[in-house]
Amino acid sequence: MADTWFAITDASGNLLSTGTVLDSLQSYADRGLTVITLSGNPAGQLWNPATRTFSPVGAGLNAYSKADWLRRFTPAELAAFRNSADASIVAFRYVFENDSAVIPQGPDVQAVLAHVVAIGMLSAARAAVLGAN
């Protein structure tokens, strides 16, 4: 018999956890969390907090773990992103922290890379490396 998979989200739909083992449903409700029964193992799929569903990665677009994608950055670039107070970068960090994977060719990544080039934080050549599929 196949395992039943669950997603645990906060009130905004941000994914907190997935797995096949649950505590009591009431314990999640008491903490303001939602338990969603999934159709199967969500590995390799992207979480959408607005619809609270997983979906396959678009054809031809590679998804990477956050750690794998961060390895593309130099230490100085990571520090600049982490320490930036720029509203677009802060918003991207929030999306990044709450997504399950990174799609370098996806609209969120491409938009922030274009922005950091426009404000002089990265060169176009470095942005191309970070945003490569």
In a domain, 44, yes or no: yes
d(CA 105, CA 108): 8
H or E segment and range at residue 15: strand 15-19
- Mean pLDDT, to the nearest integer, of 66-81? 95
The pLDDT value given to residue 113:
92
In whole angstroms, what is the distance from residue 67 CA to residue 51 CA? 25
Read off the pTM: 0.57
Say if 61 falls within a structural domain: no
CA distances from 49 to 46, 55, 62, 108 (A): 10, 11, 20, 14
**What is the structure's pLDDT at 42?**
86
Query: Do both 90 and 39 map to the same domain?
Result: no
Q: Which structural domain range is residue 117 located in?
A: 66-130
Q: Are strands 45-48 and 53-56 parallel, antiparallel or unpaired?
A: antiparallel
* pLDDT of 63 over the 80 cut: yes
